[in-house]
Amino acid sequence: MTSKIIEISKDGAERWTAGQSLQNGGVITERQTARVGVVGLGHMGEAFARNLLADGHQVWAFDRGPERVALLVQAGAKPAAGFSDLAACDFIITALPDDTVLGPAVLDPGGLLDVMHPGAIHISMSTVSPGLSARLADAHRARGQDYVAAPVLGNPDLAHSRKLFVLAAGDPDALARAKPLLVRLGQRLFVISDDPAAANLMKLAGNVLTATTLEAMGEVLALLRKGGVDQEVAFDVLTNSLFDAKVHKTYGGKILNEHYSPAGMAVPLAVKDLRLALAEAERTAVPMPSASLAHDRLVGLIARGWADLDWSALGLLAARDAGLPSRLPIANDKPRQS
């Protein structure tokens, strides 16, 4: 069979036949399925695994929480009790929270580096530092393995509905082999660079822009609310005139409706992302005063006991600083009196 990469339409018209392993150097070919390990079954990892299963792939699921693995097994995945159970996988997707988790999962003895076979591809969809991404790429290359960084822009709801924006970077051949999987996990795949670290920097930059937008929207909505402007009218004007981007509409809607729980992006993860971005800014001598402010405001949410809220709660913090009460019960909510 002649090897070729299949471009799958959004309606899933083209599929692979289950039960065949990859051949021809690890390229997904017609009528074939991929063997994919998914490590980390939080909100995002679970969505990736379910979508891969829906596309007919063989999926091995690993997580420290056995209940999460059990849910995926019910959906058709194979359970992985440890990394060694992923040895036959042609692709391993990691969806882990930060450097302190992803690094050891790959580099420690018995980690993915020791388990993956030559030619297998590690696709890291985690938001981690560019420095760690570069180290992982070097480590995999030394073992004859491949590494693709593919963090995403979007929340768990978008992950389930395949509406994420995937930011991919890595060796062009590895990217070509991973592409049929990645295009099915989101609405658009952006190829950033052949340097994996560039995708992680792009992701951090996107999160900085979101955080600063949330801070600004929170302040503006608090100003308008305290000035007596109806919040629904204010939101309509802002998001249907000059500020009609997805971030303004989606997260501005959360601020308007005080819909901060359950969190799509919990505050501590947002703090981590801003911290990583500021570290890169310091390393490259790029002043980012707005990012520094947004970071400190996110830390302020944690200080008030709101660590479990969505990062759009920057709007809640702005309202509280203005002495505005909440319409909904929120734990540890003590508005400052004006």
Q: Is 179 a catalytic residue?
A: no
Could you identify the residue written with the tokens 């042609």? 90
List, in sequence order, every beta strand (DSSP E) within the chain: 35-39, 58-62, 78-79, 91-94, 121-124, 146-149, 152-153, 164-170, 186-193
Residue 53 identity: L
Options 10, 78, 163, 203, the catalytic residue: 203
Residue 263 identity: A
Q: Would you say 312 and 260 are in contact if contact means Cβ atoms under 8 Å apart?
A: yes
Q: What is the number of other CB atoms lying within 10 angstroms of the CB of residue 297?
A: 23
Query: Phi and psi dihedrals of 189, rounded to 5?
Result: -105, 120
Q: Would you say 51 and 57 are in contact if contact means Cβ atoms under 8 Å apart?
A: no
Q: What is the number of other CB atoms lying within 10 angstroms of the CB of residue 114?
A: 14
| Catalytic (active-site) positions | 203
